[in-house]
Amino acid sequence: MSGAAAGDVPVLWLTAGLSCDGDSIAMTAATQPSLEDLVFGAFPGVPKVRFHHPVLAYEVGAEFLETFEAAQGEDFPPFILVIEGSVPNEANHAEGCWAGLGTDPDTGQPIPTTTWIDRLAPKAWAVMAVGTCATYGGIHAMAGNPTGAMGLADYLGWGWRAKSGLPIVNVPGCPVQPDNCTETLLYLLRQMVGAAPPIPLDEVLRPKWLFFQTVHEGCDRAGYYEQGDFASEYGSPRCIVKLGCWGPVADCNVGKRGWINGVGGCANVGGACIGCTMPGFPDKFMPFLDEPPGAKMSSSAVLLYGRTVRALRKVTRGSLNVEPEWRRRTDVVVAEPVVDSGGE
Ligand code: SF4
Ligand code: SF4
């Protein structure tokens, strides 16, 4: 792993994949750390970040692209390349391109996004794929799509390495949970200045500490599941597994972390988990909002135990809601309650 001198670190953010730009918008809600924390250098010893991002930039057109051109040269400082959006297969059509950014001055044609990736990825100190589209292909990569869309690791290769020696760092989510994104960026910055060991990634290149748990393991409704107490309609506070929640098998920390500043989280607030952080999304989770096949079996198994335990707990709760007898005064004569006869 190569180190880098402390100083502002350019983060070149390509939103020109196939996407809705939702990850960029989500990131503006990050609080742990926030964009401002990263830009203004809130962390001692961690370099500040200079974002080159179309949503945040004042520059437009060719002026905006100057940094992306310069980053291909040898004099450019170590930078982090962020890819948002899935990567189309530009080899599957005769003319034009599925996705592009800027115009080639020689041909007057759009510069394909894949060309930017080919030029910039080998120069980057680290490469992050942000959001499910960039990581694993997402919605655009569904069976039968005409674009041949894929995730960045499918495009560059799962064994691909950046200049630092790091593999692609995948932070999936549709959109990405904002703090998962900025926290991963912060980790890379710390690694860049030698303040952290190489980022630990799981077998599908997600930061391990963010994706080691299932939604279910951190869900506010897990107590209802355990008691076999399942919602049959929306608006109920109970477990929504029978309304299509895939939380028991989806690796995601949103149940614990919430969405913005610790608040929210899909299943917590009544939105069935559709497994958006998983490489098999969306095809393997469809049709959305149908009870998952595995849940039919597991929730049936839970029912007998859950209902029995719930009934027993009801009895126990009843007894626990009564104070022990010895806490009452014995020297006070309690008056009989006065019954209002209503004036009759
Ligand atoms: Fe698990 Fe989903 Fe039920 Fe939450 S709502 S307890 S994640 S099945
Ligand atoms: Fe995606 Fe499920 Fe996590 Fe929500 S809880 S972000 S749907 S994986």
Does 219 contact ligand 2 (Cβ within 6 A)?
no
> For the chain, which domains are there?
9-192 (3.40.50.700), 213-321 (4.10.480.10)
pLDDT digits (tens, 9 = 90+) for 294-321: 988 888 889 999 999 999 999 999 999 9
Q: What is the mean pLDDT of residues 40-59?
A: 95
Average pLDDT of the residues in 250-255: 97
The chain-wide mean pLDDT, for the chain, equals 94
Note the pLDDT of residue 3: 38
pLDDT reported for residue 330: 78
pLDDT more than 70, % of the chain: 95
Residue 243: CB within 6 Å of ligand 2? no
CA of 230 to the centre of ligand 1 (A): 9
Which atom of ligand 1 sits closest to the CA of residue 222?
A: 6
pLDDT tens sequence across 134-173: 999 999 999 999 999 999 999 999 999 999 999 999 999 9
Residue 85's closest CA among 117, 133, 129, 150? 133
Nearest residue (by CA) to ligand 1, atom 3, is: 239
Q: Average pLDDT for residues 223-228, to the nearest whole number?
A: 96
User: Is 215 near ligand 2, meaning CB less than 6 Å away?
Assistant: yes
Residue 273's pLDDT band, with cuts at 50, 70 and 90, is very high
The response to whether residue 243 sits with its C-beta less than 6 Å from ligand 1 reads: no
Measured CA to CA, the distance from residue 237 to residue 223 in angstroms comes to: 11
Across 230-251, b (16+ Cβ under 10 Å) vs e yields bbeeeeeebbbbbbbbbbbbbb
Residues paired with residue 87 on neighbouring β-strands, in sequence order: 150
pLDDT at 262: 93
Contacts of 168 (CB under 8 A, 6+ apart): 127, 128, 129, 152, 153, 156, 160, 162, 205
Question: Does the pLDDT at position 2 exceed 80?
Answer: no
Q: In what order do the strands lie in the sheet with 169-171?
A: 49-52, 9-14, 80-84, 126-130, 169-171
273 lines ligand 2 (CB under 6 A): yes
Residue 282 near ligand 1, beta carbon < 6 Å: no
Q: What is this structure's pTM?
A: 0.91
- The ligand with the least distance to the CA atom of 220 is 1
